[in-house]
Amino acid sequence: MNEMERLVAMDRIGTAGLEMTVQAEPGELAAIAARLLIPRVSRLRCAFRLKRLEASIIEAAGQLEADVTQTCVVTLEDFDQPLGEQFVVRFVPEGTESDDDDPDAPDEIGYPAGAIDLGEAAVQQLALALPPYPRKPGLPETQESEPETPNPFAALAGLRRPQ
């Protein structure tokens, strides 16, 4: 079982498509935060526009909105951060996912016969939207600087014999 299961039967998606919005409940938010190894997810909402490309392939254009708490990699303090992301994914029958390495191609999510899971798709997109090295807003940018202690071999350079 996924933390946020929102199944949509394939036969509900007609030729005109389907628009749906999914939102996580409080208990689901805690489970999602645990899965993503972050302190908290306080809101997760995702609007989908579903379009049938073929009989068994559904394209989903989505708009993700979330409020999360992350831990700063510099100060180790928790801070709140809103996230917003637009994305496109394709639902394909399980086992038929492409091995294409094209970074511009839409991600593919396999589904068992009969239904796609928009909740799992929303959680996956949230995971992709999280910054890998979160920094608390307002921190100065780090810059490469000269080491404060001199190189221990610098003194030896003066002892070299002239040739």
**Per the structure block, which two tokens stand in for 144?**
């490469």
pLDDT at res. 83: 96
pLDDT at res. 139: 82
CB 69 within 8 A of CB 80: yes
d(CA 136, CA 77): 8
pLDDT at res. 146: 54
Per-residue pLDDT of the chain (163 residues; tens, 9 = 90+): 589 999 999 989 988 899 999 999 999 999 999 999 999 999 999 999 999 988 889 999 999 999 999 999 999 999 999 999 999 999 998 887 887 777 788 888 889 878 999 999 999 999 999 999 999 988 887 655 555 666 666 666 666 666 6
d(CA 110, CA 94): 4
**Per the structure block, which two tokens stand in for 25?**
């409940």
Tell which residue, 85, 79, 88, has the closest CA to residue 60. Answer: 88
> In the chain, count of helices (H) and strands (E)?
3, 7
Strand partners, 9: 115
CB 121 within 8 A of CB 90: no
Q: Which amino acid makes up residue 45?
A: R
Q: State the pTM of this model.
A: 0.80
CB 22 within 8 A of CB 122: yes
